[in-house]
Amino acid sequence: MSGAALTGVRKAFLMLLLVVGVLLLVTAVQTTQAASIIVPEEVKFERCYENAVSRTVVISSMDYAGRVRVSDFWAECGVAERNPLLHNKSADDVGISITYDEEFYISEMQTYSLTVSVSAASPDIYHGMLLFEPLDAAGDIIIARAVWLFVDARAVVLQQPESPTNKTDVEIQGLAPRNTCIEIYVNAELVNVASSDEHGNLSAKVSLCEGTNEIFAKISDVNVTSNVVTVKCDTTPPEPPKLDEPPSPVYKEEIEITGTAEPYTTVKIFINGNVSGEALAVASGRFELEVTLVRGNNTITAIAVDDADNPSNESAPVFVEYKERPKIRLSANRTVLPANATALLTATIYEGDAVAALNISVKFEVSGNATLSAYEVNATNGKATTEMRATNACGGSVTITASSPEMPEIEKGSITVTFTPSEEHVEPETQPSTNQTEPLENTMFAENATAAENATNATSNDGGESSFAASNFAAYKKSWIAALAAVIAVVAVVIFLLMRRNIKAESETGGDIKSTWSVLNANRNKDGTYTLKVSKDGKETTIRISKASYKKLKKQGGLDIGGHFLKLL
Report d(CA 269, CA 292) in Å as an integer.
11
Residue 249, preceding peptide bond in cis (omega within 30° of 0): yes
Report d(CA 551, CA 53) in Å as an integer.
33
In the chain, % of residues over pLDDT 70? 76
Radius of gyration of the chain (CA): 43
- Tell me, yes or no, if the two domains 34-151 and 327-461 fold the same way: yes
Report d(CA 515, CA 129) in Å as an integer.
39
Tell me the sheet residues that pair with 413.
402
- Mean predicted lDDT score pLDDT of the chain: 79
Residue 317, preceding peptide bond in cis (omega within 30° of 0): no
SS (H, E, C) 294-324: CCEEEEEEEEEECCCCCECCCCCCEEEEECC
CB count, 10 Å around CB of 237? 19
Segments making up each domain of the chain, as ranges: 34-151, 157-233, 249-322, 327-461, 516-568
pLDDT score recorded for residue 374? 92
Report which listed range, 20-24, 163-167, 516-520, is most confident. 163-167
Look at the domain 34-151 and name its fold: Immunoglobulin-like (2.60.40)
List strand residue ranges (DSSP E) for 379-440, in order: 383-390, 396-403, 413-420
Report d(CA 68, CA 135) in Å as an integer.
6
Q: Is the pLDDT assigned to residue 285 strictly greater than 90?
A: yes
DSSP per residue, 151-212: EE--S-EEPPPPSSBS-SEEEEEEE-STT-EEEEEETTEEEEEEE--TT-EEEEEEE--SEE
Q: Is the pLDDT assigned to residue 339 strictly greater than 80?
A: no
Q: Taking the mean position of all CA atoms in its chain, how far away is CA 81?
A: 42
Judge whether 178 and 158 are in contact, CB under 8 Å: no
Q: Is the pLDDT assigned to residue 450 strictly greater than 70?
A: no
Phi-psi region of 447 (alpha: psi -120 to 50; beta: other; left: phi over 0): alpha
Look at the domain 157-233 and name its fold: Immunoglobulin-like (2.60.40)
pLDDT score recorded for residue 8? 54
Work out the average pLDDT over 46-67: 87
- DSSP at 47: S
Q: Is the pLDDT assigned to residue 263 strictly greater than 80?
A: yes
Report which listed range, 326-335, 519-528, 557-566, is most confident. 326-335
Q: Residue 422: which pLDDT band, with cuts at 50, 70 and 90?
A: low
Q: Is the pLDDT assigned to residue 498 strictly greater than 70?
A: no
> If DSSP codes are grouped into helix, strand and coil, which group holds residue 494?
helix
Residue 164, preceding peptide bond in cis (omega within 30° of 0): yes
Query: Residue 8: what are its φ and ψ, rounded to 5°?
Result: -65, -40
Report d(CA 500, CA 478) in Å as an integer.
33
Sequence-distant (6+) residues with CB within 8 A of 523 are 277, 278, 279, 280, 289, 290, 530, 531, 532, 533
pLDDT score recorded for residue 499? 55
- DSSP at 84: G
Q: Is the pLDDT assigned to residue 300 strictly greater than 70?
A: yes
pLDDT score recorded for residue 535? 86
Assigned CATH for 327-461: 2.60.40.10
Q: Taking the mean position of all CA atoms in its chain, how far away is CA 346?
A: 51
Q: Which helix (H) or strand (E) holds 19?
A: helix 3-35
What count of Cα atoms within 13 Å lies in the side-chain half-sphere of residue 239? 10
Q: Is the pLDDT assigned to residue 355 strictly greater than 60?
A: yes
Distances (CA, A) of 76 to 84, 132, 303, 530, 554: 12, 21, 56, 50, 42
Distances (CA, A) of 119 to 21, 123, 196, 352: 50, 10, 21, 82
State the greatest distance between any 2 C-alpha atoms of the chain, in Å, as a whole number: 144
Judge whether 372 and 366 are in contact, CB under 8 Å: yes
Query: Residue 364: what are its φ and ψ, rounded to 5°?
Result: -100, 145
CB count, 10 Å around CB of 94? 19
CB count, 10 Å around CB of 474? 11
Sequence-distant (6+) residues with CB within 8 A of 431 are 440
Tell me the sheet residues that pair with 71.
131
Look at 428 and 285; give whichever has higher pLDDT: 285
Q: Is the pLDDT assigned to residue 74 strictly greater than 50?
A: yes
Pick the CATH number of 249-322 from 2.60.40.10, 2.40.50.1040, 2.40.37.10, 3.30.750.24: 2.60.40.10
> If DSSP codes are grouped into helix, strand and coil, which group holds residue 265?
coil
- DSSP at 293: P
Query: Residue 438: what are its φ and ψ, rounded to 5°?
Result: -115, 150
pLDDT score recorded for residue 162? 92
pLDDT score recorded for residue 308? 93
Q: Which amino acid is at 250?
A: V
Work out the average pLDDT over 518-541: 82
Report d(CA 321, CA 253) in Å as an integer.
10
- DSSP at 58: E
Q: Residue 177: which pLDDT band, with cuts at 50, 70 and 90?
A: confident
DSSP per residue, 218-247: EETT---B---EEEEE--PPPPPPEEPPPP
Q: Is the pLDDT assigned to residue 504 strictly greater than 50?
A: no
Look at 266 and 562; give whichever has higher pLDDT: 266
Q: Is the pLDDT assigned to residue 245 strictly greater than 60?
A: yes
Query: Residue 151: what are its φ and ψ, rounded to 5°?
Result: -115, 115
Judge whether 178 and 120 are in contact, CB under 8 Å: no
The region of weakest confidence among 67-76, 346-355, 539-548 is 539-548
CB count, 10 Å around CB of 246? 18
Strands 42-46 and 145-152: parallel
Work out the average pLDDT over 490-495: 62
Work out the average pLDDT over 522-547: 82
> If DSSP codes are grouped into helix, strand and coil, which group holds residue 28?
helix
Q: Is the pLDDT assigned to residue 533 strictly greater than 70?
A: yes
